[in-house]
Chain A
Amino acid sequence: AQSVTQPDIHITVSEGASLELRCNYSYGATPYLFWYVQSPGQGLQLLLKYFSGDTLVQGIKGFEAEFKRSQSSFNLRKPSVHWSDAAEYFCAVGGGNAGNNRKLIWGLGTSLAVNP
């Protein structure tokens, strides 16, 4: 079955600390992987995506993620968290051979709180 698991429902870190948000997926084909961020009451913004090539991808706002096929993971990292990073983070996976109407499979999200 296709699924995305974000094991951590809620994470709290101190400002300036490093951050890693976990994402594991189960997908039958070559996965396209995404991380989105949602601020309260807002839509979602794409942080980064992985399609192929270098397994370490750089995104906006200083985020990066590493695709590890052997572990079926696509963890999001940031070396130094800012208070403005407090938000909900969603991992999603989609496929490249599903036709034009490719749907993404979403994780349940990780809520990030940042302590001053």
Chain B
Amino acid sequence: GAVVSQHPSWVICKSGTSVKIECRSLDFQATTMFWYRQFPKQSLMLMATSNEGSKATYEQGVEKDKFLINHASLTLSTLTVTSAHPEDSSFYICSARGYVMSLHFGNGTRLTVT
């Protein structure tokens, strides 16, 4: 079946540094990937839609300069949290659109900013 690999699964960084999270579709091509943020005990909040070869579409209220998204190939999208602050600590999940409108999710990245 369609597999999405998200890396790293957890990361701890110091305030002010940047962190890159990778999302790869391992056995299918994904022209569209989505990035979500999930707070404890809550649903997913869509941050942005990543399209291969073009700029990402950000949801209202999401800072595009802070959350940089690059979708350079049909199998890879990256989310870079720039100048991270403790309030950016969260669980970030990516998904890739597969066949017949199904979304395939990565296992998420737990970001802790100290």
Contacts and interface: CB of A to CB of B under 8 A. Distances in A.
Contacts of A104: 103
A35 interface: no
Contacts of A46: 102-104
B102 A49 contact: yes
B101 to A, nearest CB: 6
Interface stretch (B12-20, B42-50, B65-73, B79-87): B42-50
Interface in A69-116: 90, 94, 96, 100-104, 106-109, 111
B101 A94 contact: yes
Contact of A43 (B31, B43, B102, B105): B105
Interface residues of B, number: 26
A1 to B, nearest CB: 15
The DSSP consensus for interface residues of chain A is loop
Contact of B42 (A45, A101, A108): A108
A103 B49 contact: yes
B46 A103 contact: yes
A49 B100 CA distance: 10
A32 interface: yes
Contacts of A42: 107-108
A32 B103 contact: no
Given A90-B44, A106-B43, A43 B32 contact: no
A11 interface: no
Interface in A25-51: 32, 34, 36, 41-46, 49, 51
Interface in B1-23: 4, 6
Contacts of B110: 41
B16 to A, nearest CB: 26
